[in-house]
Amino acid sequence: MRIGIDDTDSPAGMCTSYIGAVLRQRLEERKFCVSGACLLRLNPNVVWKTRGNAAICIEAEGDPDRAFSIACACVEEFADFSAENTNPGVVVTEERIPSGFYYRAVQGFCEISEAIRLLETSGARYRGYKNRRGLVGATAAVASELPDRTYEFLAYRKPERWGTPRYVERETLFLADAKTYPHTWDTVDRRNDAVVCVPHTPDPVLYGIRGESPAWVSYAAHFIRSEEPEIEQIYATNQGTDVHLIPGVIGALEEGRSYRVEGTVASLPETRAGGHVSVLLGRDGSTLRCMAYEPTKEFRDVVRALLPGDRLIAAGSYKGGSLNLEKMCVRSLAAAVEKRPPLCPACGRRMTSAGRGKGFKCRFCPGRAQAPELRSVGRAIRCGWYEVPPIARRHLAKPLVRFTPAERECGDRSCIASAVPLPGK
Protein backbone atom coordinates (compact mmCIF):
# COMPACT_ATOMS: atom_id res chain seq x y z
CA MET A 1 0.00 0.00 0.00
CA ARG A 2 0.94 3.63 -0.34
CA ILE A 3 0.27 6.22 2.34
CA GLY A 4 0.15 9.87 1.31
CA ILE A 5 0.16 12.93 3.56
CA ASP A 6 0.10 16.58 2.62
CA ASP A 7 -0.43 20.08 3.89
CA THR A 8 0.31 19.74 7.59
CA ASP A 9 2.82 22.57 7.90
CA SER A 10 2.50 26.31 8.39
CA PRO A 11 4.80 29.31 8.41
CA ALA A 12 4.85 29.05 12.21
CA GLY A 13 6.24 25.53 12.32
CA MET A 14 5.83 21.87 11.51
CA CYS A 15 6.83 20.18 8.30
CA THR A 16 5.04 17.38 6.47
CA SER A 17 8.33 15.51 6.01
CA TYR A 18 8.71 15.32 9.81
CA ILE A 19 5.29 13.71 10.16
CA GLY A 20 6.40 11.28 7.45
CA ALA A 21 9.51 10.37 9.44
CA VAL A 22 7.47 9.84 12.62
CA LEU A 23 4.92 7.78 10.70
CA ARG A 24 7.66 5.59 9.19
CA GLN A 25 9.03 4.99 12.69
CA ARG A 26 5.61 4.19 14.18
CA LEU A 27 4.75 1.81 11.35
CA GLU A 28 8.02 -0.05 11.88
CA GLU A 29 7.43 -0.23 15.64
CA ARG A 30 4.07 -1.84 14.85
CA LYS A 31 5.73 -4.44 12.59
CA PHE A 32 4.73 -2.96 9.24
CA CYS A 33 7.34 -3.54 6.56
CA VAL A 34 8.23 -0.10 5.22
CA SER A 35 9.80 -0.37 1.76
CA GLY A 36 9.95 3.24 0.65
CA ALA A 37 9.65 6.86 1.70
CA CYS A 38 9.33 9.66 -0.84
CA LEU A 39 9.27 13.44 -0.47
CA LEU A 40 7.44 15.05 -3.36
CA ARG A 41 7.62 18.74 -4.16
CA LEU A 42 4.52 19.92 -6.01
CA ASN A 43 3.91 23.04 -8.14
CA PRO A 44 5.91 25.78 -6.37
CA ASN A 45 3.58 28.46 -7.74
CA VAL A 46 0.29 27.47 -6.13
CA VAL A 47 -0.93 30.43 -4.12
CA TRP A 48 -2.39 28.45 -1.22
CA LYS A 49 0.79 26.47 -0.62
CA THR A 50 2.02 26.38 2.94
CA ARG A 51 5.80 26.59 2.55
CA GLY A 52 7.78 24.26 0.33
CA ASN A 53 4.65 22.59 -1.04
CA ALA A 54 5.90 19.14 -0.05
CA ALA A 55 3.91 15.94 0.28
CA ILE A 56 5.13 12.54 1.44
CA CYS A 57 4.45 8.99 0.32
CA ILE A 58 5.30 5.94 2.45
CA GLU A 59 5.25 2.48 0.88
CA ALA A 60 4.50 -0.31 3.34
CA GLU A 61 3.08 -3.78 3.73
CA GLY A 62 0.53 -4.56 6.41
CA ASP A 63 -3.09 -3.87 7.34
CA PRO A 64 -4.27 -0.73 5.43
CA ASP A 65 -7.01 0.09 7.95
CA ARG A 66 -4.50 0.11 10.75
CA ALA A 67 -2.00 2.11 8.71
CA PHE A 68 -4.73 4.65 7.93
CA SER A 69 -5.59 5.14 11.59
CA ILE A 70 -1.90 5.43 12.56
CA ALA A 71 -1.34 8.01 9.80
CA CYS A 72 -4.41 10.04 10.81
CA ALA A 73 -3.29 9.95 14.45
CA CYS A 74 0.16 11.31 13.44
CA VAL A 75 -1.42 14.14 11.46
CA GLU A 76 -3.85 14.99 14.27
CA GLU A 77 -0.99 15.00 16.78
CA PHE A 78 1.43 17.18 14.80
CA ALA A 79 -0.32 19.19 12.09
CA ASP A 80 -0.68 22.91 12.69
CA PHE A 81 -4.49 23.07 12.53
CA SER A 82 -4.52 26.67 13.76
CA ALA A 83 -3.03 28.03 10.52
CA GLU A 84 -5.60 29.13 7.98
CA ASN A 85 -3.75 27.66 5.01
CA THR A 86 -3.06 24.32 6.69
CA ASN A 87 -5.61 21.81 5.42
CA PRO A 88 -4.18 18.30 5.90
CA GLY A 89 -5.01 15.28 3.80
CA VAL A 90 -4.30 11.58 4.44
CA VAL A 91 -4.67 8.84 1.81
CA VAL A 92 -4.05 5.11 1.97
CA THR A 93 -4.40 3.15 -1.24
CA GLU A 94 -3.63 -0.39 -2.33
CA GLU A 95 -4.45 0.29 -5.96
CA ARG A 96 -2.12 2.47 -8.03
CA ILE A 97 -3.56 5.85 -8.91
CA PRO A 98 -2.50 6.94 -12.42
CA SER A 99 0.66 9.05 -12.35
CA GLY A 100 -0.98 11.71 -14.54
CA PHE A 101 -2.47 13.25 -11.42
CA TYR A 102 0.99 13.57 -9.88
CA TYR A 103 2.40 15.29 -12.98
CA ARG A 104 -0.54 17.72 -13.05
CA ALA A 105 0.05 18.55 -9.38
CA VAL A 106 3.74 19.25 -10.07
CA GLN A 107 3.37 21.08 -13.39
CA GLY A 108 -0.02 22.71 -12.98
CA PHE A 109 -3.08 22.71 -10.79
CA CYS A 110 -5.51 20.09 -9.53
CA GLU A 111 -8.96 20.36 -8.00
CA ILE A 112 -9.93 18.75 -4.70
CA SER A 113 -12.97 17.21 -6.40
CA GLU A 114 -10.71 15.57 -8.99
CA ALA A 115 -8.60 14.01 -6.22
CA ILE A 116 -11.70 12.71 -4.43
CA ARG A 117 -13.05 11.20 -7.65
CA LEU A 118 -9.78 9.28 -8.16
CA LEU A 119 -9.73 8.17 -4.52
CA GLU A 120 -13.31 6.91 -4.75
CA THR A 121 -12.62 5.05 -8.00
CA SER A 122 -9.56 3.32 -6.58
CA GLY A 123 -11.27 2.39 -3.30
CA ALA A 124 -8.73 4.38 -1.25
CA ARG A 125 -9.14 5.26 2.41
CA TYR A 126 -8.86 9.02 2.78
CA ARG A 127 -9.51 11.86 5.14
CA GLY A 128 -9.36 15.56 4.37
CA TYR A 129 -9.26 18.04 7.22
CA LYS A 130 -10.75 21.54 7.18
CA ASN A 131 -11.16 22.59 3.53
CA ARG A 132 -9.53 19.26 2.47
CA ARG A 133 -7.01 20.93 0.14
CA GLY A 134 -4.35 18.50 1.39
CA LEU A 135 -6.10 15.64 -0.39
CA VAL A 136 -4.66 17.01 -3.64
CA GLY A 137 -1.06 16.63 -2.46
CA ALA A 138 -1.71 13.37 -0.63
CA THR A 139 -3.28 11.90 -3.77
CA ALA A 140 -0.44 13.26 -5.93
CA ALA A 141 2.02 11.64 -3.50
CA VAL A 142 0.50 8.15 -3.79
CA ALA A 143 0.23 8.63 -7.59
CA SER A 144 3.87 9.69 -7.92
CA GLU A 145 6.58 8.03 -9.91
CA LEU A 146 10.24 9.04 -9.88
CA PRO A 147 11.93 8.05 -13.14
CA ASP A 148 14.58 10.60 -12.16
CA ARG A 149 15.16 10.93 -8.43
CA THR A 150 17.52 12.36 -5.87
CA TYR A 151 17.77 11.71 -2.13
CA GLU A 152 17.64 13.88 0.94
CA PHE A 153 18.93 12.96 4.38
CA LEU A 154 16.83 14.90 6.88
CA ALA A 155 17.68 15.25 10.55
CA TYR A 156 14.90 16.53 12.83
CA ARG A 157 15.21 18.31 16.16
CA LYS A 158 13.94 17.21 19.53
CA PRO A 159 10.54 18.87 20.15
CA GLU A 160 11.77 20.83 23.16
CA ARG A 161 14.23 22.65 20.88
CA TRP A 162 11.76 23.66 18.16
CA GLY A 163 11.82 27.40 17.64
CA THR A 164 15.21 27.88 19.34
CA PRO A 165 18.47 28.62 17.44
CA ARG A 166 19.91 25.50 15.80
CA TYR A 167 23.31 24.19 16.85
CA VAL A 168 25.11 22.85 13.80
CA GLU A 169 28.88 23.29 13.51
CA ARG A 170 29.34 25.36 10.41
CA GLU A 171 32.78 24.09 9.43
CA THR A 172 31.55 20.47 9.51
CA LEU A 173 28.98 21.38 6.85
CA PHE A 174 31.74 22.76 4.65
CA LEU A 175 33.74 19.58 5.34
CA ALA A 176 30.77 17.35 4.46
CA ASP A 177 30.42 19.27 1.21
CA ALA A 178 34.13 19.08 0.40
CA LYS A 179 34.15 15.31 0.99
CA THR A 180 31.09 14.48 -1.06
CA TYR A 181 30.47 17.13 -3.75
CA PRO A 182 29.37 16.62 -6.55
CA HIS A 183 27.63 13.47 -5.28
CA THR A 184 25.83 15.78 -2.85
CA TRP A 185 24.99 19.43 -3.54
CA ASP A 186 23.49 22.54 -1.99
CA THR A 187 24.85 21.80 1.49
CA VAL A 188 26.72 25.10 1.41
CA ASP A 189 27.19 27.93 -1.09
CA ARG A 190 30.94 28.53 -1.18
CA ARG A 191 30.86 31.55 -3.43
CA ASN A 192 28.37 33.32 -1.16
CA ASP A 193 30.02 31.84 1.95
CA ALA A 194 26.64 30.62 3.18
CA VAL A 195 25.14 27.50 4.72
CA VAL A 196 22.23 26.30 2.62
CA CYS A 197 21.15 23.02 4.25
CA VAL A 198 20.10 24.41 7.65
CA PRO A 199 16.73 26.22 7.62
CA HIS A 200 15.94 29.38 9.55
CA THR A 201 12.25 28.63 10.00
CA PRO A 202 10.84 27.40 13.34
CA ASP A 203 10.04 23.91 11.95
CA PRO A 204 11.55 20.62 13.24
CA VAL A 205 14.18 20.28 10.46
CA LEU A 206 17.75 20.46 11.75
CA TYR A 207 19.41 20.05 8.36
CA GLY A 208 18.87 18.32 5.03
CA ILE A 209 21.60 16.89 2.80
CA ARG A 210 20.73 16.44 -0.85
CA GLY A 211 22.52 14.02 -3.11
CA GLU A 212 22.48 11.30 -5.71
CA SER A 213 22.10 8.20 -3.49
CA PRO A 214 21.22 7.16 0.07
CA ALA A 215 24.86 6.17 0.56
CA TRP A 216 26.24 9.58 -0.45
CA VAL A 217 23.81 11.62 1.65
CA SER A 218 24.44 9.40 4.69
CA TYR A 219 28.18 9.64 4.18
CA ALA A 220 27.94 13.44 4.00
CA ALA A 221 25.75 13.57 7.12
CA HIS A 222 28.26 11.55 9.14
CA PHE A 223 30.71 14.48 8.97
CA ILE A 224 28.24 16.88 10.55
CA ARG A 225 28.47 17.76 14.23
CA SER A 226 25.31 19.25 15.70
CA GLU A 227 22.79 19.05 18.50
CA GLU A 228 21.51 15.48 18.77
CA PRO A 229 18.68 14.86 16.27
CA GLU A 230 15.47 13.28 17.50
CA ILE A 231 14.91 11.29 14.33
CA GLU A 232 16.52 10.95 10.88
CA GLN A 233 15.00 10.01 7.58
CA ILE A 234 16.29 9.47 4.06
CA TYR A 235 13.72 10.30 1.42
CA ALA A 236 13.76 9.58 -2.28
CA THR A 237 12.58 12.81 -3.87
CA ASN A 238 11.75 14.66 -7.06
CA GLN A 239 13.90 17.57 -5.87
CA GLY A 240 16.60 18.64 -8.28
CA THR A 241 14.99 16.95 -11.30
CA ASP A 242 13.36 19.84 -13.21
CA VAL A 243 10.15 17.77 -13.35
CA HIS A 244 8.19 21.02 -12.93
CA LEU A 245 9.47 22.43 -16.25
CA ILE A 246 7.37 22.00 -19.37
CA PRO A 247 8.30 23.12 -22.88
CA GLY A 248 6.73 26.52 -23.56
CA VAL A 249 6.39 29.02 -26.38
CA ILE A 250 6.78 32.74 -25.75
CA GLY A 251 3.39 34.38 -26.09
CA ALA A 252 1.50 31.25 -25.00
CA LEU A 253 2.52 30.74 -21.36
CA GLU A 254 0.04 30.13 -18.54
CA GLU A 255 0.33 31.90 -15.23
CA GLY A 256 1.61 29.69 -12.40
CA ARG A 257 3.39 27.06 -14.46
CA SER A 258 7.11 26.59 -14.98
CA TYR A 259 8.65 26.49 -18.42
CA ARG A 260 11.65 26.00 -20.61
CA VAL A 261 11.40 28.47 -23.50
CA GLU A 262 13.61 29.45 -26.41
CA GLY A 263 14.05 32.97 -27.66
CA THR A 264 16.35 35.76 -28.70
CA VAL A 265 17.34 38.58 -26.40
CA ALA A 266 15.30 41.59 -27.50
CA SER A 267 16.46 44.34 -25.13
CA LEU A 268 19.45 45.45 -23.18
CA PRO A 269 19.26 44.02 -19.64
CA GLU A 270 18.09 46.51 -17.08
CA THR A 271 18.90 46.62 -13.37
CA ARG A 272 15.91 47.88 -11.41
CA ALA A 273 15.36 49.12 -7.90
CA GLY A 274 16.37 46.50 -5.36
CA GLY A 275 18.98 45.01 -7.70
CA HIS A 276 16.51 42.94 -9.73
CA VAL A 277 17.64 42.40 -13.32
CA SER A 278 15.19 42.20 -16.19
CA VAL A 279 15.66 41.35 -19.86
CA LEU A 280 13.24 40.79 -22.73
CA LEU A 281 13.29 37.56 -24.70
CA GLY A 282 11.52 37.53 -28.04
CA ARG A 283 10.26 35.00 -30.53
CA ASP A 284 7.98 35.33 -33.55
CA GLY A 285 6.80 38.80 -32.58
CA SER A 286 6.03 38.02 -28.92
CA THR A 287 8.20 38.98 -26.01
CA LEU A 288 8.65 37.63 -22.50
CA ARG A 289 10.14 39.50 -19.57
CA CYS A 290 12.74 37.34 -17.79
CA MET A 291 13.71 38.26 -14.24
CA ALA A 292 16.78 37.51 -12.15
CA TYR A 293 15.87 38.77 -8.70
CA GLU A 294 18.37 40.14 -6.20
CA PRO A 295 18.65 36.88 -4.19
CA THR A 296 20.05 35.15 -7.29
CA LYS A 297 23.27 37.13 -6.62
CA GLU A 298 26.08 36.48 -9.15
CA PHE A 299 23.66 34.88 -11.63
CA ARG A 300 22.49 38.45 -12.30
CA ASP A 301 25.92 39.28 -13.74
CA VAL A 302 25.36 36.70 -16.47
CA VAL A 303 21.96 38.18 -17.28
CA ARG A 304 23.47 41.68 -17.30
CA ALA A 305 26.08 40.49 -19.81
CA LEU A 306 23.43 39.50 -22.39
CA LEU A 307 23.04 41.56 -25.57
CA PRO A 308 20.23 41.79 -28.09
CA GLY A 309 20.59 38.98 -30.58
CA ASP A 310 21.87 36.39 -28.12
CA ARG A 311 19.88 33.16 -28.40
CA LEU A 312 18.78 31.56 -25.15
CA ILE A 313 16.93 28.72 -23.52
CA ALA A 314 15.39 30.17 -20.35
CA ALA A 315 13.87 28.09 -17.55
CA GLY A 316 11.78 29.16 -14.60
CA SER A 317 8.35 29.90 -13.20
CA TYR A 318 5.94 32.12 -15.09
CA LYS A 319 4.43 34.39 -12.45
CA GLY A 320 2.86 37.82 -12.67
CA GLY A 321 3.61 37.95 -16.39
CA SER A 322 7.35 37.30 -16.18
CA LEU A 323 9.61 34.28 -16.15
CA ASN A 324 11.58 34.02 -12.91
CA LEU A 325 14.85 32.54 -14.12
CA GLU A 326 16.16 29.39 -12.45
CA LYS A 327 18.70 28.62 -15.16
CA MET A 328 19.44 29.50 -18.74
CA CYS A 329 21.48 28.29 -21.64
CA VAL A 330 23.22 30.76 -23.90
CA ARG A 331 22.98 28.97 -27.24
CA SER A 332 24.71 31.58 -29.36
CA LEU A 333 26.17 34.99 -28.74
CA ALA A 334 25.54 37.99 -30.96
CA ALA A 335 28.69 39.52 -32.37
CA ALA A 336 29.35 42.62 -30.32
CA VAL A 337 30.97 45.34 -32.37
CA GLU A 338 32.31 48.74 -31.59
CA LYS A 339 32.15 51.47 -34.25
CA ARG A 340 34.88 54.05 -34.70
CA PRO A 341 36.02 56.41 -37.48
CA PRO A 342 38.01 54.59 -40.19
CA LEU A 343 41.54 55.30 -41.34
CA CYS A 344 41.73 57.80 -44.20
CA PRO A 345 41.89 55.93 -47.58
CA ALA A 346 44.19 58.66 -48.92
CA CYS A 347 46.71 59.34 -46.14
CA GLY A 348 46.10 56.51 -43.69
CA ARG A 349 45.44 58.65 -40.67
CA ARG A 350 42.46 58.32 -38.30
CA MET A 351 39.48 60.30 -39.57
CA THR A 352 36.81 62.18 -37.61
CA SER A 353 33.06 62.35 -37.95
CA ALA A 354 31.75 64.73 -40.58
CA GLY A 355 28.52 65.12 -38.64
CA ARG A 356 25.47 62.97 -38.04
CA GLY A 357 24.79 60.86 -41.16
CA LYS A 358 27.53 62.55 -43.15
CA GLY A 359 30.24 59.95 -42.83
CA PHE A 360 33.83 60.79 -42.00
CA LYS A 361 36.34 63.42 -43.02
CA CYS A 362 40.07 63.67 -42.80
CA ARG A 363 41.65 66.44 -40.82
CA PHE A 364 44.87 66.23 -42.84
CA CYS A 365 43.74 65.86 -46.48
CA PRO A 366 40.50 66.07 -48.50
CA GLY A 367 39.82 62.33 -47.97
CA ARG A 368 36.23 61.24 -47.21
CA ALA A 369 34.69 57.94 -46.15
CA GLN A 370 31.15 56.74 -45.43
CA ALA A 371 31.42 53.53 -43.41
CA PRO A 372 32.79 53.38 -39.88
CA GLU A 373 35.39 50.86 -38.90
CA LEU A 374 33.83 47.93 -37.04
CA ARG A 375 35.84 46.22 -34.37
CA SER A 376 34.51 43.08 -32.71
CA VAL A 377 34.50 43.25 -28.96
CA GLY A 378 34.99 40.27 -26.69
CA ARG A 379 31.90 39.09 -24.80
CA ALA A 380 31.93 38.71 -21.04
CA ILE A 381 30.03 35.41 -21.21
CA ARG A 382 30.36 32.22 -23.18
CA CYS A 383 27.84 29.82 -24.58
CA GLY A 384 26.60 27.23 -22.15
CA TRP A 385 24.35 26.76 -19.15
CA TYR A 386 24.20 29.12 -16.19
CA GLU A 387 22.20 28.63 -12.99
CA VAL A 388 21.25 30.52 -9.85
CA PRO A 389 23.56 29.84 -6.88
CA PRO A 390 22.65 27.20 -4.25
CA ILE A 391 21.29 29.84 -1.85
CA ALA A 392 18.67 30.81 -4.42
CA ARG A 393 17.86 27.35 -5.80
CA ARG A 394 14.27 26.17 -5.80
CA HIS A 395 13.59 22.65 -4.54
CA LEU A 396 12.64 21.20 -7.92
CA ALA A 397 15.35 22.91 -9.96
CA LYS A 398 17.96 20.52 -11.31
CA PRO A 399 21.48 21.64 -10.46
CA LEU A 400 23.82 21.74 -13.46
CA VAL A 401 26.10 19.35 -11.63
CA ARG A 402 23.42 16.69 -12.30
CA PHE A 403 23.35 17.38 -16.05
CA THR A 404 24.55 14.60 -18.31
CA PRO A 405 27.09 15.53 -20.99
CA ALA A 406 24.26 15.41 -23.55
CA GLU A 407 22.15 17.81 -21.49
CA ARG A 408 25.07 20.21 -21.24
CA GLU A 409 25.26 20.52 -25.00
CA CYS A 410 23.26 23.56 -25.89
CA GLY A 411 22.56 22.78 -29.52
CA ASP A 412 24.98 24.84 -31.57
CA ARG A 413 28.09 22.98 -32.57
CA SER A 414 30.20 26.01 -31.81
CA CYS A 415 28.91 25.98 -28.26
CA ILE A 416 29.44 22.35 -27.47
CA ALA A 417 33.09 22.73 -26.67
CA SER A 418 32.57 25.50 -24.16
CA ALA A 419 32.80 24.64 -20.51
CA VAL A 420 29.72 24.71 -18.33
CA PRO A 421 30.37 26.99 -15.42
CA LEU A 422 29.94 24.99 -12.22
CA PRO A 423 29.28 26.40 -8.75
CA GLY A 424 32.34 28.05 -7.21
CA LYS A 425 34.61 25.10 -6.52
Q: Which residues bind Zn ion (CB under 5 A)?
A: 344, 346-347, 362, 364-365, 367
Cβ closer to Zn ion: 163 or 345?
345
Cβ closer to Zn ion: 309 or 348?
348
**Measured from the CB of residue 344, what is the shortest distance to Zn ion in angstroms?**
3
Output the CA torsion sign for 333, 338, 343, 349. negative
**Measured from the CB of residue 368, what is the shortest distance to Zn ion in angstroms?**
9
Strands 125-128 and 150-156: unpaired
**Measured from the CB of residue 356, what is the shortest distance to Zn ion in angstroms?**
21
**Measured from the CB of residue 353, what is the shortest distance to Zn ion in angstroms?**
14
Give the span between the Cα atoms of 124 and 97, in whole angstroms. 9
Cβ closer to Zn ion: 165 or 355?
355
Number of H helices, E strands in the chain: 10, 24
**Measured from the CB of residue 369, what is the shortest distance to Zn ion in angstroms?**
9
**Measured from the CB of residue 347, what is the shortest distance to Zn ion in angstroms?**
3
Cβ closer to Zn ion: 371 or 419?
371
Give the span between the Cα atoms of 120 and 127, in whole angstroms. 12
8 A C-beta contact, residue 331 and residue 342: no
Cβ closer to Zn ion: 346 or 422?
346
**Residues near 347 by beta carbon (within 8 Å), at least 6 away in sequence:** 362, 364, 365, 367
**Residues near 17 by beta carbon (within 8 Å), at least 6 away in sequence:** 39, 54, 56, 154, 205, 233, 235
8 A C-beta contact, residue 213 and residue 238: no
Q: Output 345-351 pairs: Cβ under 8 A, ≥24 positions apart.
A: 345/369
Degrees to nearest 5, angle at CA 298 with 297 and 304 = 105
**Measured from the CB of residue 350, what is the shortest distance to Zn ion in angstroms?**
9
- Nearest CA to 223 out of 207, 239, 236 is that of 207
**Measured from the CB of residue 341, what is the shortest distance to Zn ion in angstroms?**
11
Cβ closer to Zn ion: 88 or 342?
342
Cβ closer to Zn ion: 167 or 364?
364
Q: What are phi and psi of 372, to 5 degrees?
A: -75, 165
Cβ closer to Zn ion: 116 or 346?
346
- Nearest CA to 313 out of 326, 289, 330, 335 is that of 330
